[in-house]
Chain A
Amino acid sequence: MDSSRPSDHVSNEAPIASPELGVVGWLRWVWRSLTSMRTALILLLLLAAAAIPGSIYPQRSADPNGVTSYFQQNPELAKVLDGLQLFDVYSSVWFSAIYILLFISLIGCVVPRTIVHAKAMVSPPPVTPRKLSRMPAYFISKTKSASSDSIVGDAAALLKKQGYRVEVDGDSVSAERGYLRETGNLIFHVSLIGVLVAVGFGGAFSYSGQRLLVEGDTFVNNLAGYDSFSPGAFFNENNLQPFSMSLDKFEIAFDNNVDHVGNTGTPIDFRASVSTKLTPGSEASKAVIRVNEPLELPGSKVYLTGNGYAPVLAFSDKPCKALPGGVRVIEGPFSYEGAVPYLPQDANYTSLGVIKLPDAKPNQYGVLSFFYPTAGKLPTGAFTSIYPAALSPQSSLLTLNVYVGDLGLDSGIPSNVFSLATHGLKQLSGGKTGVKPIQLLVKGNAQDLPNHMGCVAFTDLKRFASLDIDYNPGQGWVLLFALLSLGGLILSLLVPRRRVWVKRTSEGVEVAALARGDDPALEKIVVEVADELGFKAKSKKKDTDA
């Protein structure tokens, strides 16, 4: 241990083990090693290194689709990586092992330090060392006035006034201040434990559910109402508050100034206007959910996380009916009728939708459909959307490619509603078939399906909003502990902890100071104290300070 350290300085040295240790000795050695600062440091660096793969490989928690596509592209490698838990880095055995060890080390370090600190808080500053000249900041006055009797009393009063804890010991004063530095340090570390506990506890009782709502649709808060749902370990279904929510309207403001080259069409605002009923019989209350402005309900918050177009389509097995004047309309019964959420594929909302018609007669078929809010043509002749909103009802275009065959819905294997496995199906329109894809305008003519399969119509255009309903009882606590740890950190790094001694000797009066940790003002302090006591002090620089 450094001889210039205060006596309550906690050593960072791991003791050297001797080979004849028994079981208890070994356990003690392991514990001491684990709780040493060197181990904490190495665990911290290991933790930093272990976090890196989680930013390189897609994670199931943050990017489940990325994991799926990784498995599709590199099935062999993906299996190996998955075995190493590289798609679940932050819940993996090895990542958990590091942070659990780190926190055990932290507890093992904080507990004895708290005891030492508590003792230091109630005991007087340690006795004045014999050789003050060894201290990093030192001043001696050999003038005669220095030996005046009152100097010790004066020094004690002065240091007390400056906030020091003071102990007079014969011809010397020993003073110490800045206990908050260690208090802050302990608060910081204990609060980190608090953060970890709150994260774990909050996560266990939390849930996060997703629901896509088309304008006019209503969501009821029960498990069946969610498209996807991820509960924490202790989640109980009965905790779901029985509210219902309807999406009345979804609006987007795009930058519509054509002079804003490069910015025209950029979304400026998304607004989901909803009506919420907290209990089935209660009055509906209206609210607007925006990005950055979730709706707070009892027991959960509702966030706006995505949006897109939902064309309303109707399919019939009967051919379209021709009316006088060339107008064609669809006739029921419908094999499908309703709004279909189309997922946006680019910034201008070129959108892709999938419709599966397992009940169509005589053959079931699927449809891959593109929607262009404002259709334009690329030089290649392909359609693209050139503005994310419909400039007029006639500017929007819907195209459909029809695939006939077994849709695989009867096999019982769950399938993604947003994708159509075209393998094994026969394409009848669009692509390389030579048959033009069906093109529809909103509320325009109905169109016949290829091979006399029936009729399709685009009857209305709606939007959908993707909502996230989240509950996490721990997050307030996480914030509280995080702020506490920040406060503790500030204290522990910025409050100087120092000892000051004033001593009368046969040679004159000595003033000296010692800091725990870095203290840029140490030299100045000695000079100031000497000045206040009536000496013209010139700082005698020691090597330690800048």
Chain B
Amino acid sequence: MPKLLQVLPPVFHAQQTVSLNDDLSQVSLYFIYAAMAVYTVAFLAYVWHLSQAASTVKANRKGATRIEKWAFILLIISALFHGFGVVLRGVAASRVPWANMYEFSITGTFLVVAIYLVSQVFVKDIRILAVFMSGFVLLVLGIATNQFYVQVKSLMPALQSYWLVIHVTVAILATGFFNIASAASIAYLMKGSKLVETSKLKGFALTRRILGLFPDMNKLEKLAYRFNIIGFILWTFTLIAGAIWAERAWHRYWGWDTKEVWTFIIWTIYAGYLHANATRGWSGKRSAWLAVIGFCAIIFNFTIVNLFFKGLHVYSGLK
């Protein structure tokens, strides 16, 4: 801004002033960085745990449980840093912290971790997926802080609606469930892979032993299914809530905007997944592939569609 803008014309009514705190958003960013650092250590600890637990030496296998315990504690610490970072970002912007890609990334990954931490209390089988989950969260946070970071900004009028809270929260939750399900499906596909099963190369022996630590394929398939049905219900709601909001903000409930198109595509892929589970010849491997493809479509929708496709959902805040 050039210097001449020292005194700007008053806004026409008092409640329309915005409150943004750049210093606080810096503090938020430091918390996110701190979380990333601890996630890195937690991720490495989980990798170490897997390699130890799959070791052929008995003493190593014994020590693995302790490593996992430490990795879990590190995961909780990083989740706390992460959560602080998200909350501070919201406070700095005086609104919900999911109005652009950076904020969506940090909030979304936090919810993935939260869903994981809550679920692993009830579904012990997903504990082993921590390595997928922490690696994924770390990757997304790395891209978010490097590529998507923007200063705190006020909400554009189209986003000033309670539907921002409803529609986006549910979309993030759905993504979190799909994410954990896709981890289970990837483990399923790796376990069922002929290459891994039969290869005589040395690395594959270790891979086989590591995969041996995961629940059996039947359990993995069910885990994926259970997380995917929750994700699908939430995604259906996201779609309906989005249509209700679009009717108010854009004068039509559905207009095949690029983001709407991809929300529909993702819904259809997961609907296909549910049918595949009940179709002989399609349950198992093919439906697991559909779950992975579905999650790839979600990532595509969030990145490529946001950044490169023309449409009304242009909220990345990036130039």
Contacts and interface: CB of A to CB of B under 8 A. Distances in A.
Contacts of A127: none
A52 B222 CA distance: 30
A264 B251 contact: no
Contacts of B278: 12, 37, 517
B160 A546 contact: no
B18 A386 contact: no
Contacts of B236: 485-486, 489
Interface stretch (B52-60, B67-75, B196-204, B258-266): B258-266
Nearest to B218: A543
Given A37-B278, A470-B252, A543-B218, A267 B240 contact: no
Interface stretch (B9-17, B34-42, B186-194): B9-17
Interface string B13-34: 1001110101000000000000
Interface in B235-287: 236-237, 240, 243-244, 247-258, 261-262, 264-265, 268-269, 271-272, 274-276, 278-282
A55 B312 CA distance: 12
B251 A61 contact: no
Interface string A521-546: 00000000000000000000001111
A63 B279 CA distance: 39
A41, A293, A389 interface centre (most CB from chain B within 10 Å): A41
Interface string A258-272: 101111111111110
A268 B5 contact: no
B160 A292 contact: yes
Contacts of A543: 218
Interface in A459-478: 468, 470, 472, 475, 478
Most chain B beta-carbon neighbours within 10 Å: one of A59, A254, A262, A292: A292
Nearest to B16: A253
B156 to A, nearest CB: 7
A40 B274 CA distance: 11
A344 B110 CA distance: 39
A382 to B, nearest CB: 15
A387 B7 CA distance: 12
Nearest to A386: B2
Contact of A266 (B9, B156, B222, B261): B156
Given A263-B152, A263-B154, A518-B222, A48 B232 contact: no
Contact of B244 (A48, A199, A262, A479): A479
A332 interface: no
Interface in A481-531: 482-483, 485-486, 489-490, 493-494, 517-518, 520
B16 A62 contact: no
Using C-beta atoms within 8 Å of the partner chain, give the interface range for chain B.
35 or more
A200 interface: no
A376 interface: yes
Given A44-B275, A266-B153, A291 B12 contact: no
A129 interface: no
Interface in A278-295: 290-294
A51 B265 contact: yes
A208 interface: yes
B32 to A, nearest CB: 19
A426 interface: no
B233 interface: yes
A368 B249 CA distance: 32
B251 A387 contact: no
Contact of B280 (A13, A52, A260, A470): A13
A54 interface: yes
A251 interface: yes
A255 interface: yes
Contacts of B268: 44-45, 47-48, 51
Nearest to B229: A493
Given A47-B268, A59-B256, A490-B233, A546 B223 contact: yes
Contacts of A61: 255-256
Contacts of A260: 18, 20, 22, 154
Sorting the interface of chain A by its residue count into under 10, 10 to 19, 20 to 34 or 35 or more gives 35 or more
B252 A386 contact: no
Contacts of B276: 41
A478 B280 CA distance: 33
A255 B310 contact: no
Give the one of B248, B251, B276 with max A CB within 10 A: B251
A58 interface: yes
A418 B62 CA distance: 76
Given A45-B269, A486-B237, A520-B226, A264 B281 contact: no
A277 interface: no
B20 A263 contact: yes
B18 A264 contact: no
Contact of B240 (A41, A293, A486): A486
Contacts of B155: 268
A48 B237 contact: no
A113 to B, nearest CB: 12
Interface in A41-69: 41, 44-45, 47-48, 51-52, 54-56, 58-59, 61-63, 66
A55 B300 CA distance: 12
Interface string A375-391: 01000000000110111
A89 B272 CA distance: 21
5 tightest Cβ-Cβ pairs between the two chains A and B: A256-B8, A303-B251, A48-B268, A291-B157, A253-B11
15 contacts: A38-B279, A41-B272, A44-B271, A45-B290, A48-B269, A51-B268, A61-B255, A258-B8, A260-B20, A261-B1, A263-B151, A269-B11, A292-B161, A294-B248, A389-B9
Given A263-B152, A391-B8, 13 more contacts: A37-B279, A51-B265, A54-B261, A199-B254, A256-B9, A257-B8, A263-B153, A268-B157, A269-B11, A269-B157, A292-B160, A376-B2, A389-B9
Interface of A: 12-13, 37-38, 40-41, 44-45, 47-48, 51-52, 54-56, 58-59, 61-63, 66, 89-90, 199, 208, 251, 253-258, 260-271, 290-294, 301, 303, 305, 376, 386-387, 389-391, 468, 470, 472, 475, 478-479, 482-483, 485-486, 489-490, 493-494, 517-518, 520, 543-546
